[in-house]
Chains A and B, each alone.
Chain A
Amino acid sequence: MPAAAAIHTLIVDDQASMRSLIRGSLQQLGFREFREAADGEAGLRAMIAQPAHLIISDFNMPNLDGLGLLRAVRAHPPIAGAAFIMLTGRADRELVARAVQYGVNNYLVKPFTVAQLKDKLEGVFGPLT
């Protein structure tokens, strides 16, 4: 189980406010290494340029959505092993089922709390504290 501070995270969301909120929540949980991308395409480029251990990605994004990013990451061996947490809205149960099919590690329904984010992360990485 890696310590939170050692986990390099890529945050992918087209809303700057949401990226900031996710970063703030991760900081509260001890995470220290972040990069950000504003859509799936930029996220994929960022991953290929410098792989991260964890991707937290929104679903609804221009250019390449969260599901497209997930599929692209899983299809690209050097980065295919990254943990992937998808952010979804309330009505996206079908999306979650498709994301599971494509190898998502966990999902988080917005608006989320820090405790819920921690639960989802620990479901992937084990206890963070």
Chain B
Amino acid sequence: MTTALHSHHKVHIGQGEHFVTDDPDVVLTTILGSCVAVCLRDPALGLGGMNHFLLPEGAGAGADAGRRYGAYAMEVLINDCLKRGAQRGRLEAKLFGGGRMFDTLKDVGVANADFAERFLRDEGIPVVGGSLRGLGGRRVQYWPSTGRALQRAVTDSHVPPPVSRPPVPVETGALELF
């Protein structure tokens, strides 16, 4: 393992984004407050990726609007892995984020963390590591090719404020059939 000496190409995953790769030189990075990042990989292929999402405002783990948004954020990551040859039955996940931020009264991070855990349980994807909930933000690095993940606590001022999303997605499709 030459990670410490190796020059890695960093790909930063912002809120609402995801990225999948099998390049051993790529490290995926993100900074999380109450958002959650799911790191997903197929260990047999050394291929995987990360997303970074926040459920819509006011949507708890049981709320359908939030679940629909979160399920879509997960689906695009899973589908990108499957398109590149990953097998659903081999996928494993590490979960990060869902922290309670100091400047918020509501603990929205818990809803995001609860959703991610429930989604992976429902889909039968094992969670093999990570760090959810707790106080404050995290800086996360993830190497999809090996599954190695590093987390560092960051102070509130370093965590970008989450972009609140409307509970109703705006995209309805440009092509009208009827």
Residues of A within 8 A of B (CB): 14-18, 20-21, 24-25, 60, 62, 88-90, 93, 96-97, 100, 104-116, 123
Contact = CB atoms under 8 A, between A and B. Distances in A.
A17 B169 contact: no
B79 to A, nearest CB: 5
Contacts of A104: 177
B68 A112 contact: yes
A11 B177 CA distance: 21
A25 B171 contact: no
B139 interface: no
B177 A17 contact: no
A109 B75 contact: no
Contacts, number: 72
Contacts of A60: 75, 79, 82-83
Interface residues on B, range: 20 to 34
Contacts of A113: 65, 68, 168-169
A16 B177 contact: no
Given A106-B178, A107-B177, A62 B82 contact: yes
B175 A90 contact: no
A111 B82 CA distance: 19
Interface in B109-123: 119, 122-123
A113 to B, nearest CB: 5
A24 B175 contact: no
A89 B68 contact: no
A109 B173 contact: yes
B71 A17 contact: yes
Contacts of B88: 14, 62
30 contacts: A14-B88, A15-B71, A15-B74, A15-B78, A15-B123, A16-B122, A16-B123, A16-B124, A17-B74, A17-B119, A20-B122, A21-B67, A60-B82, A62-B88, A100-B175, A100-B177, A106-B178, A107-B173, A107-B175, A108-B173, A109-B169, A110-B68, A110-B72, A110-B75, A111-B71, A112-B68, A112-B169, A113-B65, A113-B168, A115-B168
Given A21-B67, A62-B88, A89 B76 contact: yes
Contacts of A14: 88
Given A110-B75, A111-B69, A90 B123 contact: no
